[in-house]
């Protein structure tokens, strides 16, 4: 009997990306995995064909209302919902159901951080889904609940971890992430209209106000055991997908570009979704679109005494849906890379 998968919030960008990946998953193609309920709220009752014509294999499927009853009975449930909606639904699903929450509800350990940045009651904490972090694969493999990471924390965490864990830089990071507009979701908003974003760049939620700031700090503290300070600035750019992150930090004595590059290569040796680029290359968002990859480069700015790390991810794939499918594969004991592209479309 096929394993059944439901997607809540299926008509959003993250939900649609999960479906795109599932449709190419070897288990789906072999009949071992079946796509069950597709749910949403405002789009309930409509057909996939009218909402997501990029998914013709599901064109005649109707979107159901997002309720625990419609999600119950599935082996796997992806929750691609805004923060604050997942917790109550998750509580009503059976313990044996594998639930992967792409929202923020269960990412933060510290309830004080949650209240400060999100303003409502803390729902708790689930095992966190960046498999490339130390010890995460083992935790995910024995879990039935997984908190899928935020897109900004994914690119920043993967870029910063080797720098701190290998003693290349001081744990005082300045992080700037340039992101495409799909990171804000499909909701209608004046500041996300084409006429407002095309030909313009804008920083937002600056000076430590962005909700992903405590998530980045949490990851780096857990991954290195260091007391980490982070200044995070997100910048909105006129592109659909992608996040380019640059990190600068005070350089430790004796570190060169060559030694830093070797340390990064050693740290990610064997990681199929992290590519430390050859010296001289630079990550570009166009080279990761639609993939579960994170491209990274590291350099030393000798005159400034700073380490510079740059990373590129697709915010909807490695930053959300790809991470969710990667965690599903691990939790189910499947090949981790199953259904996850590593080659982008070019040009």
What CATH number does residue 192 fall under? 3.30.360.10
Residues 176, 179, 185, 188, CA torsion sign: positive
pTM here? 0.95
Is 139 found in the same domain as 236?
no
Q: Which two tokens stand for residue 21?
A: 């990946």
341 domain-assigned: no
Q: Which two tokens stand for residue 285?
A: 């968002």
Give residue-wise pLDDT tens across range 267-286. Answer: 999 999 999 999 999 999 99
User: How sure is the predictor about 230, in pLDDT bands with cuts at 50, 70 and 90?
Assistant: very high
User: How sure is the predictor about 198, in pLDDT bands with cuts at 50, 70 and 90?
Assistant: confident
Domain count, the chain: 2
Is 191 found in the same domain as 128?
no
Q: In b/e form, how buried is each residue of 211-226, taking b as 16+ CB within 10 angstroms? A: bbbbbbbbbbbbbbee
Which among 151, 166, 294, 327 is annotated as catalytic? Answer: 151
Q: How long a stretch of residues is the chain?
A: 347
pLDDT of residue 89: 95
Is 303 found in the same domain as 162?
yes
Is 158 found in the same domain as 73?
no
| Alpha helices (H) along the chain | 13-23, 26-30, 48-51, 68-71, 86-91, 111-118, 136-141, 151-165, 194-197, 213-224, 257-267, 322-331
Is 304 found in the same domain as 206?
yes
346 domain-assigned: no
Give residue-wise pLDDT tens across range 69-118. Answer: 999 999 999 999 988 889 999 999 999 999 999 999 999 999 999 999 99
Is 326 found in the same domain as 289?
no
Q: Which residue has the tokens 């796997």?
A: 76
Is 304 found in the same domain as 162?
yes
345 domain-assigned: no
- Catalytic (active site) residue 327: no
| Ramachandran angles phi, psi of 307, nearest 5° | -90, 135
Residue 113 belongs to what domain range? 3-148+320-332
Is 167 found in the same domain as 68?
no
Strand partners, 38: 7
Question: Which 3 state secondary structure label does DSSP give 207?
Answer: coil
Is 156 found in the same domain as 144?
no
The domain that holds 121 is classified in CATH as: 3.40.50.720
For the beta sheet containing 229-236, the strands, ordered from the edge strand earlier in sequence to the opposite edge, are 202-203, 229-236, 172-179, 243-250, 306-313, 294-301, 274-276
Q: Comparing 181 with 55, which gets the higher pLDDT?
A: 55
User: 344: buried, middle or exposed (CB in 10 Å: 19+, 13-18, 0-12)?
Assistant: middle
Cis peptide before 347 (omega within 30 of 0): yes
Q: Which residue has the tokens 């997501």?
A: 52
43 domain-assigned: yes
CB-based contact 3:27 (threshold 8 Å) = yes
In this structure, what DSSP letter does residue 205 have? Answer: S
Is 227 found in the same domain as 119?
no
Q: Which residue has the tokens 């592209």?
A: 341
Q: Which residue has the tokens 């290195």?
A: 224
Question: Which 3 state secondary structure label does DSSP give 82?
Answer: coil
User: How sure is the predictor about 186, in pLDDT bands with cuts at 50, 70 and 90?
Assistant: confident
Is 107 found in the same domain as 19?
yes
Q: What percent of the chain has pLDDT over 90?
A: 91
CB atoms within 10 A of CB 346: 7
Question: Which 3 state secondary structure label does DSSP give 320?
Answer: helix
276 domain-assigned: yes
Give residue-wise pLDDT tens across range 10-26. Answer: 999 999 999 999 999 99
Is 244 found in the same domain as 232?
yes
């Amino acid at each position: 009997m096929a394993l059944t998968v439901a997607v809540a919030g299926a008509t959003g960008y993250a939900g649609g990306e999960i479906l795109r990946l599932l449709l190419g998953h070897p288990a789906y193609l072999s009949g071992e995995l079946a796509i069950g309920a597709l749910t949403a709220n405002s789009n309930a009752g409509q057909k996939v064909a009218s909402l997501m014509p990029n998914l013709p294999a599901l064109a005649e499927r109707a979107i159901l209302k997002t309720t625990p009853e419609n999600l119950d009975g599935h082996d796997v449930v992806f929750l691609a919902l805004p923060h604050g909606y997942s917790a109550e639904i998750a509580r009503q699903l059976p313990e044996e159901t594998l639930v992967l929450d792409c929202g923020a509800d269960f990412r933060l350990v510290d309830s004080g951080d949650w209240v400060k940045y999100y303003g409502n009651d803390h729902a708790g904490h689930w095992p966190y889904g960046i498999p490339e972090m130390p010890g995460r694969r083992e935790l995910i493999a024995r879990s039935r609940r997984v908190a899928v990471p935020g897109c900004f924390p994914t690119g920043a965490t993967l870029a910063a971890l080797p720098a701190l864990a290998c003693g290349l830089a001081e744990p005082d990071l300045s992080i700037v992430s340039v992101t495409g507009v799909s990171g804000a979701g499909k909701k209608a908003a004046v500041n996300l209209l084409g006429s407002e974003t095309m030909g313009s760049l804008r920083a937002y939620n600056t000076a430590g106000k962005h909700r992903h700031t405590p998530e980045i700090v949490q990851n780096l503290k857990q991954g290195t055991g260091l007391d980490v300070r982070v200044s995070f600035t997100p910048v909105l750019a006129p592109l659909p997908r992608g996040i380019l992150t640059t990190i600068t930090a005070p350089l430790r004595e004796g570190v060169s570009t060559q030694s830093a590059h070797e340390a990064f290569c050693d740290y990610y040796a064997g990681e199929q979704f992290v590519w430390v680029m050859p010296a001289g290359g630079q990550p570009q968002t166009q080279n990761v679109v639609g993939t579960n990859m994170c491209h990274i480069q590291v350099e030393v700015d000798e005159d400034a005494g700073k380490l510079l790390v740059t990373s590129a991810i697709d915010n909807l794939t490695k930053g959300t849906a790809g991470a969710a499918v990667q965690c599903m594969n691990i939790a189910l004991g499947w090949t981790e890379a199953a259904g996850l592209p590593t080659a982008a479309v070019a040009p």
